[in-house]
Every structure is written in C-alpha cells, then in structure tokens.
Chain A
C-alpha cells in the first residue's frame, strides 16, 4: 500500500455546484411572485404576503416531517386525519382541565398534543417497519382510523374550545413577535431544526442512506427499522405542532379539519425536490413548496381566472407535473 500522503490538499468537495434541480423550487417561487405582481399589484403587499405565508405554515410544518419520512423511503397519508384527531383530543383535554388549571390548561394541552403526535407517529412507524406493511397501505389504514375517531369524538360536528381559553390561546395563531406572525416563526424554527437534523447529524445520514438503498444501509450496520420508525415519530411531532397552531385559528376541531392536507403536504415535499423514492431530502425546498402552493391558491382567489373551488384540482395537477419533471429530467 502506498504510504498515506498527508500533504495532498483535498480538492474541495463542498465547492458550490449550481444545480437546476435544487434551485428549481426557489426559481418557481420567484417567478410566481413576479407573476402575482403583474396580475394584481396588491399581491406583493406585506399584509397579503404575510397572510399567505401564515396560512402555509401548517402545511410547511407537517411537510418538514414528511420530508424525513419520504427521504427515508416511506410515505405518510395519514397526516391530514392525524391533525384533526390531535386537534380534537387537545381541545377536549384543554376543556376538561380548564376549570382546575385555568390558563395552564393551554400548555398542558399542548404537551398532550405533542405526546399524542409522537404516539401516532410511532404507531405508523411500527406498523410499517416491524409489521413490514407497505407505507401506502399502512398509513391509508391509519388515515381512515384517525378520521373516524375525530368524527366519533365530534359526534359528526365540531368540538369548540372553552370560552375561557379562547382569548389567551388566540395569539398562537393571530399574534406577532417583532412584527412577524407567530405561525411563521414556529415553522421557521421547525424548518431550521429539521434542516439541522437532516443535514448535520448522524441520523440525517442514516435516514438518507435507508431511503436510497435499504440493503446498503443494513450491510453498513444501520438499523433500518429504527431509522424509519424515528422518521415517522418526527412526522408525528410535526403534525402535533401544526395542530397546536391550528386550534386557535378556528377555535374548534371539526370533521373536515385537515381534509386533503396529505395531498398538499406530499405535493410540497415533491415540488421541493425531495425524491419520492427516497434517498434525497430537501427541507428548504419543501418550505418553498408549501409557500408555492398557498401562493397559487391566493392568486386564484385574487385573479378570478379560475374558481377557488378548483384549488385542490390545481394542486393535484402540480404534483403530477412535479413528478413528470422529476422523471424526465433524469
């Protein structure tokens, strides 16, 4: 073996290489802003943009978790129903605790939301990994379960939050800190944390390795079961955070809460550049994807070109186009 040559300077591995695929979502976001401005001058106003981004916060937060699940080679269809279910039990617990704990019922309820999210994620993860069930089928099942549970809990209607808590809880959605709406701050924190874990930690590497090739990961001494299950648990935590932000917006959980959010979440992840077959996660692309979706919905409302009832159809078209782009850009 040749002696170890310590002196060779490493050619930079981190030299910035421009990649259209990675820049795509941000370019699309920029193009959309210009287009919006041309259609309606009010579009770029601070108020409108701040509203749009605030509304995109839930999907963005959940989509950060979905980026982990998808880049580890999984999929989670249950997120929309899970939001509704967690919002429902959070409100129920807060209402029950309100008479004894007063306003402390709010943080206590939030803790329960996070716990519930972790457990729901764990359940999804274990069914997929230990039960060895296709993620699509496993989470299709839990999607039905969570939706039925919220329907049962609300008795087919709504669970409103106790009046005594409403005012105190409102700022979590409607408040600002230093002029920035709180949901935007929360999603920024979630995204920074997500990016840190995915790009800078051991777990992030394992997650991408498991998604890229399960066998290689296994032969490299990585526990596929553990890695994938943790991805679902992260997803559950993100859903819980989204539910915590969602409750004060309407002050209630209903049967239709979170309906079709799985479509928006997966669309945001895919147009953000994360490979649906796993192995490559793009947290900031996902955030851009979530904002793009909300911007398009907003443009549809502002422009009158297309009925706003067709928002989900447009999102469906976008995810299909994004997949076609991924396929043919190979």
Chain B
C-alpha cells in the first residue's frame, strides 16, 4: 500500500524516473564474459521484456538485478539512488521480486507454509497459522488460483505450483517483479490468467521484467523489448513495433528462414500404430487413436490432460492397459524395453531428469538404449560407439566443444538433438516426442522441426505431444486434443487452428470454427 502510494507520488513528480536502472553492467567469470555492458531503464508501470537465445545472458542479468550475483562492472540504481545487492534478500527488501523459472517449493509442506517460508507471521512469538491461511487464501483467490491453501505442494499440479510460486513473489508489495520464463509449465488458460495478473501489476504502477521464449506472449505484453545476444545488448525497442519474426531475427542476429518447414504430403492411409481403449488409472480413460505411416500426429491439451501419462502408460513406463496394433500385428507392451524392441521410440519431456545422464559423456548417453548393437559379443566396441557419435553429431548438427564433453555441458537444444539421436539408434518405426522444443532457442527449434519432418519422409510415423499449440499447428498433419484424460476432439486441415485447439482443450462441447486465424 505505502510503496504503491510512494510510486504514484514519484510518478506524479517525475514520470520518467526509472524505478530500476542498470548502467554498463558486466559479469565475468575468470576470462569468460557472460554479460557485457548492459544499460537498461525500467520505468514504473512498464512491462519490459528481455529476449535472447539460450546463453544470451538473460538469466545472468536477472540474477544480477535480484542480488544472486554481483556485477563485475557497472552499477544499479533504484529511483535515482545507487544500490548494491550482495544477497537476494537485500534486493527483496529494496522491492525487487524474482519469480524463478524452476519450481522452488518444499514438496512436503502446505501451500500456506510455502508462501510464508522464512517470513512467517507470528503472534506473541508463536506462528500464527490461522492468519497465514487467511492471507494465503486471499492472495491465491486474487490470482485466480483455486488450490486450497492447506494442500501439500506435492499433491497439486505443476501449473498450480507455478501459481503458488508467483503468489509467493507477490505476497509483499514490490516495485519491480521479474518473471523468468513463467509460462514454461503453464498451458492455455493458465497463461491467460498469468498475463492478466501481469497487466494488473502494470496498472498498479509496478515495473515488470518479463523473460520468455514465447514470442507471442512477449508481443502481447511488452511495452519495451530488450534483445540480448551473446551477452551483449542488441538494443531496446518499443514493443508494438516488433513482429515475432523481427524479434527472432534480432535474437539470432541473422536472417531466419521460416520457423516451420513447408508441410509435405508424406502422410499415407496405411495405419502404423493403433491404440485401442488405453486406460491409465488416475490419468487416462478409454483413449483410442491411430497414427499412419508418414504422418505427424499432434497431441494437444492442458497440463494435467493426461497426454504424457497416456504414452507412458502405453509404453509400460507406468501402470496402464491398452491394446496395441503395430503394423497390423496386435501386441502388448509391458516395459520400455519391449516397446523399443517392437519399434516404438519415446523421447521424454524431461530430458534432464529422465532422458540423459548429465554427468556422463556423450557416447555412453547416445548408445544407452541400443547397447546390444554396440556389444555384439561380450565386449563393448568403443570404435563403433565413437563412430555412431561422430555420425550423430554431424547428422543432427550437435554443437559441442569436444567429443569428450559431458551431456550436461550441452545447451538445451543440443541435448534434445542428442536425445533424438539416442532414440533413433533403436531404429523405431514410430517416434513419439514429448515436448520437442521445451526451453529451446529458436534456431534449434527450427532444426528440430526439420528433423521431425525428415523422420516421416523416411516412412516413419511421428507423434508430437506439445503444450505449444502454435508449434503443433505448424508441423502436424492432424492434432488430437485431450481434456481430463479423454480425447475431446480432433482437428486437421481447415479446422486446425489454435483457437479450435484451445476450445477443445478447455470446454465440454466445442463448436469448431473453420478457417479462423491461420
């Protein structure tokens, strides 16, 4: 209240005084410069987006503004006064809140406990649970988040956890709120809710810094867009003057071909994989579908719609039941091994946690699913493995400093390419890719779309699960939409639009519009 009042007063006196100013800030680690000479003004009531490819220095800049690291050179000033933050809590005390990209909540504690962690309300030295619950419930309601304040974090969905994290950052009044990729785990309606919250913050005179890979959100939100590339500032532009393709070009620093490859008529009517009456207890009820040879089939839906669970259930990665027909042969799959041997490859959405051994070198990672073909006898054929790695690196354009690098040292996009190469070593005829481009920069995205198209050109069938509707519309021949564990509809051709998908993903009985925003 008081802070907002002060901001209003300050705005009245000098509307152009930046609430936060970074002047010539650089960050070096040893001889490596990760951020050099960035100057930025953030005005009250302004939404300022920071965009850039992975490794462009966005996160470093955010951590610098919020006190996690100190600049090697340059200064920060708040409302005209120079400030120094040695620790995050100092930045917080000065009114800067950071909403982290990763979910940093204690699983075993309640929503309320997490909101107040480290700043519990007390009455006479005793923790005042009742009052905290009331405040928490009010804050959550304000954000349109419907989880009870007494739920344990581990029992609520990923999207709700993100909302709790946002609520935690907004619990105190701040002058600057920094969002680092807040929508990475949110879908459709939740994104809308978050954008509304951000506009509300803006209306209250709070400055918002917004980092996102999703350029459509940036375009809708941002008053100003600052582009970083290789740790340097490319420039600050008024938001409304930039199209998405302009932003992408500025980020990459070169002309960008179309993000999505030209669609090709590789789809046949020959069924490759049919799934009948798939059931995954607690997640999926009675789902049936068929993917054809040469087809890219999309699976859309909100988080919690059961898309990942459906495929993990079919592939024996979690308990589930389904009748499967692969190339006309009925079969049952009890484990990931059987699925692979049958020719179904699956790329997990969690490439760091379930896809790759981050501490391990690239060769062992690449061959892990196909060990048998690298150990024809008793002994591992290292030369064959090195060969496969060299081939994968060149065919998938995996950028690395040395072939002896560890998987964890690759950027997200290159990890994803390595994971794709790993799954393809098992010679699948059906490739299922869960969130193919999550957290990946735009240049790598375009490449991955190209690889997916190459797969269907080779006569494989491909299933793409994604929360980015735009991407599904861009590459798929047909999209199945799931809602609450069931298929709520299917779009293709003329009806394949983002608005139709959003409709099917959210409402009971959707009337599809033809054409629309294509």
Contacts and interface: CB of A to CB of B under 8 A. Distances in A.
Nearest to A3: B395
Given A200-B379, A201-B375, A218-B317, A15 B404 contact: yes
Interface string B315-346: 00100000000000000000111011000001
Nearest to B362: A13
B246 interface: no
B355 A219 contact: yes
A279 interface: yes
A209 B357 contact: yes
Contacts of A219: 317, 336, 346, 348, 354-355
Contacts of A200: 378-380
A212 to B, nearest CB: 5
A295 interface: no
Contact of B404 (A3, A8, A13): A13
A320 B306 CA distance: 46
B83 interface: no
Top 3 A-B pairs, shortest CB-CB distance: A221-B337, A215-B354, A10-B390
B360 interface: yes
B378 to A, nearest CB: 6
Nearest to B405: A13
A307 interface: no
Contacts of B340: 221
A4 B395 CA distance: 6
B450 interface: yes
A13 B386 contact: yes
A48 interface: no
- Counting chain A CB atoms within 10 Å of each CB, the highest count among B346, B353, B357, B378 belongs to B357
Contact of A13 (B353, B359, B363, B397): B363
B450 A1 contact: yes
Nearest to B453: A1
A157 to B, nearest CB: 46
A218 B346 CA distance: 12
B391 interface: yes
B358 to A, nearest CB: 8
B39 interface: no
A216 B355 contact: yes
Given A6-B391, A11-B403, A205-B368, 9 more contacts: A2-B394, A3-B395, A10-B389, A10-B390, A202-B372, A213-B358, A216-B355, A221-B337, A221-B426
A13 B354 contact: no
Nearest to A214: B354
B380 A221 contact: no
A155 interface: no
Given A212-B357, A212-B360, A213-B353, A218 B336 contact: yes
Given A13-B403, A216-B356, A209 B368 contact: yes
A240 B29 CA distance: 52
Nearest to B388: A10
Interface string A198-232: 00111011101100110111111111000000000
B204 interface: no
Contacts of A1: 395-396, 450-451, 454
B371 A205 contact: yes
Contacts of B271: none
Contact of A14 (B335, B382, B426): B382
Contact of B369 (A17, A215, A220, A279): A220
A281 B378 CA distance: 19
Nearest to B368: A220
A45 interface: no
B391 A4 contact: yes
27 contacts: A1-B395, A3-B395, A4-B394, A8-B390, A8-B394, A10-B386, A10-B389, A17-B404, A200-B379, A200-B380, A202-B380, A204-B380, A208-B360, A209-B357, A212-B359, A212-B360, A215-B354, A216-B353, A219-B355, A220-B336, A221-B335, A221-B336, A221-B337, A222-B368, A223-B337, A279-B359, A280-B359
- Counting chain B CB atoms within 10 Å of each CB, the highest count among A10, A220, A279 belongs to A220
Interface string B373-408: 001001110100011011100111100001110000
A204 to B, nearest CB: 8
Contacts of B489: none
A2 B395 contact: yes
B393 to A, nearest CB: 8
Contacts of B379: 200-201
A5 interface: yes
B172 to A, nearest CB: 35
Nearest to A215: B354
Contacts of B336: 218-221
- Counting chain A CB atoms within 10 Å of each CB, the highest count among B353, B361, B394, B396 belongs to B394
Contacts of A10: 386-387, 389-390, 403
A79 B206 CA distance: 63
Contacts of A217: 368
B390 A201 contact: no
A13 B394 contact: no
- Counting chain B CB atoms within 10 Å of each CB, the highest count among A4, A17, A216, A217 belongs to A216
Interface string A1-44: 11111101011111101000000000000000000000000000
Contacts of A4: 391, 394-395
Nearest to B422: A220
Nearest to B394: A5
Interface string A175-215: 00000000000000000000000001110111011001101
- Counting chain B CB atoms within 10 Å of each CB, the highest count among A4, A13, A212, A280 belongs to A13
B518 to A, nearest CB: 28
A142 B108 CA distance: 31
B24 interface: no
Contacts of B354: 213, 215-216, 218-219
B55 to A, nearest CB: 22
Contacts of B368: 205, 209, 216-217, 220, 222
A208 B380 CA distance: 14
Nearest to A13: B403
B74 interface: no
A223 B389 contact: no
Contacts of A216: 353-357, 368
- Counting chain B CB atoms within 10 Å of each CB, the highest count among A4, A8, A201, A221 belongs to A221
Contacts of A11: 402-403
B225 to A, nearest CB: 33
A220 B396 CA distance: 20
B355 A202 contact: no
A76 B394 CA distance: 44
A20 B354 CA distance: 30
Contacts of A5: 394
A2 B360 CA distance: 26
A213 B390 contact: no
B350 to A, nearest CB: 8
Contacts of B380: 200-202, 204-205
A18 to B, nearest CB: 13
B364 interface: yes
